[in-house]
Chains A and B, each alone.
Chain A
Amino acid sequence: MTDGPEASDTNQALVPDDVAPDDVVSPDTISPESLSVSEERLKQHEIWVSGTEERMPFAKTTDEGAQEILPRDLDPALSIQRGTAVEDDFVHPIPVVDDERQIINIGPQHPSTHGVLRLQVELEGETVRRVKPIIGYLHTGMEKTAETLTYAQGSTNVTRMDYLSPFHNELAYSLAVEQILGIGVPERADAIRILMTELNRVASHLLSTATMGMDIGAVSMLIYGWREREICLDFFEKTTGLRMNHNYIRPGGVAADLPDGWRDDVVQLIETVNGGVDEYEELLNENPIFLDRTIGVGVLTPQEVKQYGITGPVARASGIDWDLRKSMPYSGIEKYDFEVPTGLHGDVNDRYHIRIAEIRESLKICQQVLETIPGGDYRNPDPKVTPPPRKRIDESMEALIHHFKLFTSGIEVPPGTAYQSVEGPRGEIGCYLVSKGGTKPWRMHWRAPSFAVVQSLPAMVSDSLIADLIAALSSTDPVLGDVDR
């Protein structure tokens, strides 16, 4: 849609009226070689080029509904969201008439949208003037589903939200339930939780760096990143039985103890991933193409970061020293020694460096867990929360009753409200849980880090090149399962 009186014609710029279908197969444009091609073949060719037999008959009837990008004067929300102008952003020097603007849809099915994100982009040549993120294509009502599942079943649900950081989701949920229950977990359970979440952060950042490399043009980075991530997933599979959606961290502890030989695996993993990260840095840090594509692109100022509620690596790249592991520690993470890297410029390059540094810091934490993990139980011994071991059921009537009650009705949670947040790979993952007694939550609200980031895209990429939009989007690492829930 263009700005101006003819704004109602959605695809005007795409399909000009004065181009007759015949133009495509007009005799002037056909080279001598193609004269031998039959009429039928030419018709097929035209259908293939134009997409339909009748040259887009739906072109003028497209209705995007209430979420459509509107002309500038009718879309106040979008102009507010454009944010403050940043010097580094690309500003087209020559004023362009409204007719030369056009609306392009990127996604929902586009590889570089990292899922089913749809962006309506107003383009002026190659410059993005406005961008409107449209979400909801992956909305599966998980917050409503949570109200129908018991507290014991809940972690199977939340683990599927941000599918690249399942352990963090489970941890936030379990801690929120434990907060209302007023129980703690043994030290070994805390250590296992920290080990798994930090390894998960490594896996998620590896994937993020890999896909960002691919989006920017360093396709080999994708293969390298995936290679190291596979080792993390192998360890997850060995520990939990699954590569994703683990349902491993549960209210009251974790599902199982670490497997035999886990120490060797983690030692091996730390060594391999550290070596891999060295390789990435060698590949990308000095690469002139990579630097050109990333420096000064997708800049967010610290003020914008706070306004939009962006946390995690994106906020830290903008120079905000904020990490929940330091400021509001959970599960005893304050015992471990690690640094919080921060950037200076808030651009794509800084975000890449922050992620690389965070991988190393997380591996440092894993190394410390290896050295300091205490023995003992990995679950809270409270029989009202943790089911008894299988052997106890044969011996004790009470254990049988507890087992039966836990698996038929579930954990009884007293009335109360809790908010619990953990530092996920993409920022603050928060679980707001309201209980009115009984075995099911009354309401569960999920504070999703990607939701905040997607909202800030207009501020990040307005007045920059369309290629920078792809770079900026992939640097924020959105997970659409987390955005839409």
Chain B
Amino acid sequence: MTQDTNGAEGPVTENAELAVGPVPEVESIKTLLEAFEDATFEVRSYASSDVTYHAISVPVGDWVAFAETAKAAGYDLFVDLAGIDHFSEAPRFEVVLNLVSMTESQRIIVSTRVPYDDPTVPTVTGVFVGANFYEREAYDLVGIDFPGHPDLTRILMPDDWEGHPLRKDYDIGAIPVEFKSGSVDL
């Protein structure tokens, strides 16, 4: 990786806006999106299947409120939470939250973007207890801070580890090779 580790440096491209399509057909998602004006959505479908899910993008300010509203609207199965490093895009980090409504068999993937200078996303452990380990993982591997989390410690890496391995500017290193001068770059 030759780019500057500041993240904001280098070829910065604008975050591709999610297409603001027509009003969603699913009733619960329609009411959800009406409550949050800044939320945009996109419908994606599974591979060679007519099963669809909604990818919703919300500003970081609405993050917890959106999770609460979604839970009240029936999206009460907490499935997943993950951090993503987009590196050269303007708000560098993304956090995605995956919720399922069992009554309607619908899935929403809620995402929010945070910049490199301030990678903080308010915790959703108050809404879903199960977010605890997932937020610890996102903190450990991508380095996103979740203020309000009850126990934000490393979970997969050792406690004294430096850096966040799933960031794109994290050097993956090389293996020394015997009988050959030098090493094999990974």
Query: Which residues does A use to contact B, with CB under 8 Å?
Result: 65-67, 75-78, 80-81, 83, 135-136, 139, 141, 143-144, 148, 175-176, 178-179, 183-185, 306-309, 311, 320, 322, 327-330, 417-420, 428, 430, 432, 434, 442-443, 445, 447, 451-452, 454-456, 484-485
Q: Give B131-152 interface residues, CB cut-off 8 Å to A.
A: 132-134, 137, 141, 150-151
Q: Please measure, in the bound complex, the distance between the C-alpha atom of A452 and the C-alpha atom of B77, giving whole angstroms.
A: 12
CB-CB nearest in chain B for A174: B47
Question: How distant is A100 from chain B, measured CB to nearest CB, in Å?
Answer: 26
What are 9 A-B contacts defined by CB distance under 8 Å?
Answer: A80-B150, A143-B141, A144-B165, A175-B47, A309-B128, A330-B46, A419-B109, A447-B80, A447-B98
Q: Please measure, in the bound complex, the distance between the C-alpha atom of A454 and the C-alpha atom of B156, giving whole angstroms.
A: 13
Q: Which of A141, A430, A455 contacts B130 (CB 8 A)?
A: A455
Stretch touching chain A among B23-31, B33-41, B49-57: B49-57
Question: How distant is A319 from chain B, measured CB to nearest CB, in Å?
Answer: 12
- CB distance B129 to A330 under 8 Å? no
- CB distance B49 to A330 under 8 Å? yes
Q: Give B76-116 interface residues, CB cut-off 8 Å to A.
A: 76-80, 82, 84-86, 96, 98, 102, 105, 107, 109
- CB distance B77 to A144 under 8 Å? no
- CB distance B79 to A447 under 8 Å? yes
Q: Please measure, in the bound complex, the distance between the C-alpha atom of A37 and the C-alpha atom of B143, giving whole angstroms.
A: 61
Residues 41-78 of B, flagged 1 when their CB comes within 8 A of A and 0 if not, give 00011111101010100000000000000000000111
Q: Please measure, in the bound complex, the distance between the C-alpha atom of A432 and the C-alpha atom of B110, giving whole angstroms.
A: 13
The verdict on B162 contacting chain A, using a C-beta distance below 8 Å, is: no
The verdict on B157 contacting chain A, using a C-beta distance below 8 Å, is: yes
> Which residues of the other chain, A, contact B86 by a CB distance below 8 angstroms?
442
- CB distance A484 to B156 under 8 Å? yes
- CB distance A65 to B159 under 8 Å? yes
The verdict on B186 contacting chain A, using a C-beta distance below 8 Å, is: yes
Q: Please measure, in the bound complex, the distance between the C-alpha atom of A452 and the C-alpha atom of B141, giving whole angstroms.
A: 17
- CB distance B98 to A419 under 8 Å? yes
- CB distance A77 to B48 under 8 Å? no
Among B46, B76, B96, B109: residue with most chain A CB under 10 A? B46
- Given A184-B48, A308-B78, A447-B79, are A76 and B150 neighbors across the interface (CB < 8 Å)? yes
Among A183, A185, A417: residue with most chain B CB under 10 A? A417
The verdict on B12 contacting chain A, using a C-beta distance below 8 Å, is: no
- CB distance A309 to B78 under 8 Å? yes
- Given A148-B172, A185-B48, are A443 and B79 neighbors across the interface (CB < 8 Å)? no
> Which residues of the other chain, A, contact B120 by a CB distance below 8 angstroms?
none
> Which residues of the other chain, A, contact B47 by a CB distance below 8 angstroms?
175-176, 178-179, 183-184, 330, 418, 420
Q: Please measure, in the bound complex, the distance between the C-alpha atom of A117 and the C-alpha atom of B166, giving whole angstroms.
A: 23
- CB distance A136 to B156 under 8 Å? yes
Q: Please measure, in the bound complex, the distance between the C-alpha atom of A419 and the C-alpha atom of B77, giving whole angstroms.
A: 16
- CB distance B132 to A77 under 8 Å? yes
> Which residues of the other chain, B, contact A456 by a CB distance below 8 angstroms?
130
Q: Please measure, in the bound complex, the distance between the C-alpha atom of A43 and the C-alpha atom of B21, giving whole angstroms.
A: 80
Q: Please measure, in the bound complex, the distance between the C-alpha atom of A408 and the C-alpha atom of B109, giving whole angstroms.
A: 34
> Which residues of the other chain, A, contact B157 by a CB distance below 8 angstroms?
136, 139
The verdict on B158 contacting chain A, using a C-beta distance below 8 Å, is: yes
Q: Which of B84, B96, B155 contacts A136 (CB 8 A)?
A: B155
> Which residues of the other chain, B, contact A178 by a CB distance below 8 angstroms?
47-48
Q: Please measure, in the bound complex, the distance between the C-alpha atom of A447 and the C-alpha atom of B80, giving whole angstroms.
A: 6
> Which residues of the other chain, B, contact A418 by a CB distance below 8 angstroms?
44, 47
> Which residues of the other chain, A, contact B46 by a CB distance below 8 angstroms?
175, 179, 328, 330, 420
